[in-house]
């Protein structure tokens, strides 16, 4: 899995970030979503590495990255803090400026990075999301039922932590199988890696804290930036052709309120674009990054 990519662990101001590096050329950072790790890019990263230096990391709280202590306001697991980790990692690797592509939670980290660190981000790709502030502002019955994980994981400690501990594989399999259109897109060893992290109480707590931060600080940060700060770099938005983002929103119009140069469109896939539709996802990314 990701043969030819070198593993690393880099200390940041607050924690340690695990990842892999491969290829040569302009730098591209790849960020994963839930319930995944950096392994979600295993079908796309090698193709990008033919033309780019590819860095794929585990977000703070996921995979083999650190799980620093949280705080009453959940700030250590806000996307502002998580984005800062990733900028520090790229700087430690020698990249002051780089492109970033993120899926799901990784996409939320990526667009926050573009807002908070515009000097560092050359291009931004967001996969199957709209901004957190927009998602909460437009929430309705469909959102409450379809995105129930946002409320469940954000529930007060220790409720979700204890429920997940009772059956971690049940939660992971539900996410992978119900959010995808091709459950066989996840090789057994990859599915096992995703499930293993949810057996670690520190990781589960960190992931819950991330969702608590999303419902508080991340939302507040988006509201503070709305109409005041815009994403300065070219932005690519891709989404599942038949998923909630396509059904509930007009994704390009939503992103055009945040960035001046936005392009993109739907992909014939379920939620997990890089794993379910790696050829189309890689093609879109290569065209955009070039």
Looking up tokens 């290569």 gives: 286
Residue 271 known to be catalytic: yes
Of the candidates 38, 221, 271, 284, the residue annotated as catalytic is 271
Could you say which of 32, 42, 85, 104 is catalytic? 104
Going from the C-alpha of 142 to that of each of 68, 153, 285, the distances in angstroms are 34, 18, 30
Widest Cα–Cα separation across the chain: 47
Q: CA-CA distance, 234 to 30, in Å (whole number)?
A: 16
Catalytic residues: 104, 271
């Amino acid at each position: 899995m990701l043969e030819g990519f070198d593993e690393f662990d880099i200390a940041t101001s607050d924690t340690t970030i695990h990842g892999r590096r491969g290829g040569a050329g302009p730098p591209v950072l790849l960020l994963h979503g839930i319930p995944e790790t950096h392994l979600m890019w295993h079908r796309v990263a090698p193709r990008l590495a033919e033309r780019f230096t590819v860095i794929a990391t585990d977000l703070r709280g996921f995979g083999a990255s650190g799980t620093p202590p949280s705080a009453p306001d959940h700030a250590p697991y806000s996307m502002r803090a998580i984005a800062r980790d990733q900028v520090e990692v790229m700087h430690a690797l020698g990249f002051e400026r780089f492109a970033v592509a993120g899926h799901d939670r990784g996409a939320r980290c990526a667009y926050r990075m573009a807002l908070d660190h515009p000097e560092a981000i050359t291009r931004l790709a967001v996969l199957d999301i709209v901004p957190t502030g927009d998602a909460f502002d437009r929430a309705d019955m469909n959102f409450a039922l379809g995105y129930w994980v946002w409320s469940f994981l954000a529930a007060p400690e220790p409720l979700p932590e204890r429920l997940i501990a009772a059956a971690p594989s049940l939660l992971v399999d539900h996410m992978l199988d119900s959010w995808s259109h091709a459950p066989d897109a996840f090789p057994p060893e990859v599915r096992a890696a995703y499930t293993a992290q949810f057996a670690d109480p520190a990781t589960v707590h960190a992931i819950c804290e991330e969702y608590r931060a999303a419902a508080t600080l991340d939302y507040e940060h988006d509201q503070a930036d709305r109409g005041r700060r815009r994403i300065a770099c070219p932005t690519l938005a891709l989404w599942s052709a038949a998923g909630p983002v396509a059904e509930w929103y007009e994704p390009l119009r939503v992103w055009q309120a945040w960035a001046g140069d936005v392009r993109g469109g739907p992909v014939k896939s379920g939620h997990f674009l890089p794993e379910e539709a790696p050829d189309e996802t890689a093609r879109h990314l290569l065209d955009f990054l070039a």
